[in-house]
A and B are shown apart, each in its own frame.
Chain A
Amino acid sequence: MVNALRFRDDSAHEEPAVTFETFLGQTNATAVRLEPGDDARELIPHLDRLALIEVSFPKFRDGRGYSAARILRESGYTGELRASGDILVDQILYLRRCGFDSFIADAELDEAAVDRALGRYGDVYQKAADGRSPVWALRHG
């Protein structure tokens, strides 16, 4: 059982994430933390100097972070994208598909269950931020 999961080969970023307001007010931070109401698009001009963007999920039901993640990935962000907070095993597949590559969960996660969840669906119906080809692309190779 673990709280933290990471799907990246590089070493973890050490600098603590600053709040969104703090980040926009200063120029040298390399890690930022988004709350559900923060507009991810405001980070787009600064993506090249960010190494970690942490997106907060105070409640798993609040799905704004899924859109934030896709917007960041669609804008070319390649650094660590971390989902933190109320992260449950049954959300991790969708979070991964939206571009998250690390997780810090309030409650411990069963790694075996996470593996099963991530491997369960061999194919997907739609494009997202994970580069998987949707079935319509496979059908028409």
Chain B
Amino acid sequence: MYKYDQYDQTIVDARVEEFREQVGRRLSGELSEDQFKPLRLMNGLYLQLHAYMLRVAIPYGTLDSRQMRMLAHIARKYDRDYGHFTTRQNLQYNWIKLEDAPDILADLASVEMHAIQTSGNCIRNISSDQFAGAAADEVEDPRPWAELLRQWSTFHPEFSYLPRKFKIAVIASDQDRAAMRLHDIGLQVVRNNKGETGFKFYVGGGMGRTPIVAPLISEFVPATDLLSYTEACLRVYNRYGRRDNIYKARIKILLHEIGADEYRRQVEEEFAHVKTLGLDPPASEFERIAAHFAPPAWESGLPDTVDRSNVDFAQWVDQNVTAHKAPGYAVVTISLKPIDGIPGDASSAQIDLMADLAETYSFDELRVTHAQNIVLPNVRKADLLTMWQKLVDAKLADANIDLVTDIIACPGLDYCSLANARSIPVAQKIAARFADPARQRDIGELKLKISGCINACGHHHAGHIGILGVDRKGTENYQLLLGGSGAEDASLGKIAGPGFDEDGIVDAVERTIEKYRDLRQEGERFLDTYRRVGMDPFKEAIYG
């Protein structure tokens, strides 16, 4: 994975000192909260319902054991002994004191981490495929491109006061594990018929109150034009994106209003100009970055089979282990979705343990997934059983990846000042209802996603089953959406009908799932059945 050189380290260290000075000005009263707000937001520090929340960037979701242990250390020293992994592959601390924030950033900088641009109307942390480098179906590892974009976007002078936040995802497979088309810019690394590397550019996707699946803006942007073309995309947005209404300020609204064809025309015109400025680094810079992502020294001749005599272990393998490109290796997803837990939360002890496992069994590498789980990307199949036993001891062995209890949920009204309703208790009640592992396996793949307000941090639009919490005359009310997907077959869920209270939504989910079990044909997932039969049978089952 990428290692800082002296340039990267100096820039991050300078940021720590800058923020220390800004916090000092705030604490002394020289800055008002109004003046301080945009400064702290550029550094991932939000004022939530009860305390400051600090969001730490985990670029493209990749980190090593040393960084993971630092996250545990910070949780232990400055927070309440846990952290929350987010749908942006980042980590949030919920109980931070303002005066501690500079020291936390200094601790992060000591392990090549930061909180730069994890909030604010700027280019946010670049996200990617959590299986990058290990997935059998990728064209190449997408992360070197994500790192190139990370550096280009860091403190970008022109694009730090955009109309609204800006999210970029980079993948390199036809299978989309990163909800790429629901980003402001979604990039897919592809090869053209001459074997040259380039990008499919999808622009103007997003969730929030106006969910849109991004249209294709360019079929093939050559790799040598990546930064110039991205710069052109951003410049058109910075100049013409709406600033009169915060709810219409994302780039998706600009594309929606002027149309993808007109946007493309403007980008091409801007690109023709921008390309003359020499913004794209030479190939040697990409090669320097890519060398950091060279595959680890996978051993050859390893056994490619797994002893399945332990039934619990075999079920965990079936659900949480994915094929690896190297024979004898596997990709392991550790579930952060225990039945009685909070989706995405992990204690300091659990974070430390996952760091230990990564160091011992996975070439010292971990990934955070947008579904709020942790991946060990390079595990020998021969080590799976031993590793699983350690996960069992740490209560990290739930065999529920992509099943109904692997719920994405935003922090909701328990933490968030924007929320209208709580998400966590709903997630917990649904998980409890479907706790029986056999029942979950029978239901099969079902992506359930919960947001506590219309901003959609819990990705409810992209859930096979989505739940949206709203405020209805002062009480929490939950709408049910069906048929969304954040994968390569991206689609947006549709609202089934009138909303429910907290217990009612759990019953409605159960009726929906039972209807699916009645209707499904051989091999159909919930989403397949829904797409085949449509909303009506489900509506009848739910409201009948």
Contacts and interface: CB of A to CB of B under 8 A. Distances in A.
Nearest to A130: B157
B35 interface: yes
A97 interface: yes
Contacts of A127: 277-279
A128 B161 CA distance: 15
A125 B239 contact: no
A140 B285 contact: yes
A72 to B, nearest CB: 13
A116 B20 CA distance: 13
B156 A64 contact: no
A120 B157 contact: no
A122 B158 contact: no
Contacts of B156: 125-126
A108 interface: no
Interface stretch (B11-19, B69-77, B385-393): B11-19
Contacts of B21: 116
A98 interface: yes
Interface in A57-91: 60-64, 66-68, 70, 74, 88, 90-91
A107 B162 CA distance: 23
B7 A123 contact: yes
Interface string A86-102: 00101101110110000
Nearest to A95: B157
B239 A61 contact: no
Interface stretch (A6-14, A18-26, A48-56, A131-139): A131-139
Q: How large is the interface on B (under 10, 10 to 19, 20 to 34, 35 or more residues)?
A: 35 or more
Contact of A61 (B5, B38, B159, B273): B38
B48 interface: no
B7 A138 contact: yes
A140 B287 CA distance: 11
Contacts, number: 99
Q: How large is the interface on A (under 10, 10 to 19, 20 to 34, 35 or more residues)?
A: 35 or more
A49 to B, nearest CB: 22
Chain A CB within 10 A, most for which of B8, B18, B156, B158: B158
B363 interface: no
A136 B238 contact: no
A121 B161 contact: no
Given A61-B121, A120-B14, A136 B161 contact: no
B154 A122 contact: no
A100 to B, nearest CB: 10
Nearest to B22: A90
A98 B18 CA distance: 20
B238 A135 contact: no
Contacts of B8: 135
B29 interface: no
B7 A135 contact: yes
B157 A67 contact: no
B284 A140 contact: yes
Contacts of B159: 63, 66
Contacts of B10: 122-123
B151 A135 contact: yes
A95 B238 CA distance: 15
A138 to B, nearest CB: 7
A63 B155 contact: no
B415 interface: no
Contacts of A120: 14, 17-18
Contact of B161 (A66, A122, A125, A138): A66
A61 B161 contact: yes
A136 B158 contact: no
Given A116-B21, A123-B11, A136 B235 contact: no
A39 B536 CA distance: 50
A63 B11 contact: no
Nearest to B281: A136
Contacts of B160: 63, 66, 94
Given A64-B238, A126-B152, A88 B35 contact: yes
A121 B157 contact: no
Query: Which 8 pairs show the lowest CB-CB distances between chains A and B?
Result: A63-B161, A97-B157, A136-B281, A94-B157, A135-B7, A136-B285, A125-B151, A66-B158
Given A63-B163, A121-B155, 20 more contacts: A63-B161, A63-B162, A64-B238, A64-B239, A66-B160, A66-B238, A74-B273, A91-B161, A93-B157, A94-B161, A97-B157, A120-B17, A123-B10, A127-B277, A128-B158, A134-B281, A139-B5, A140-B282, A140-B285, A140-B288
Interface of B: 5, 7-8, 10-11, 14, 17-18, 21-22, 35, 38-39, 121, 151-152, 154-163, 227, 235, 238-239, 243, 273, 277-279, 281-282, 284-285, 288
19 contacts: A36-B243, A60-B38, A62-B161, A63-B162, A66-B159, A67-B235, A74-B273, A74-B277, A91-B161, A94-B157, A94-B158, A120-B18, A121-B14, A127-B277, A127-B279, A134-B281, A135-B8, A136-B281, A136-B282
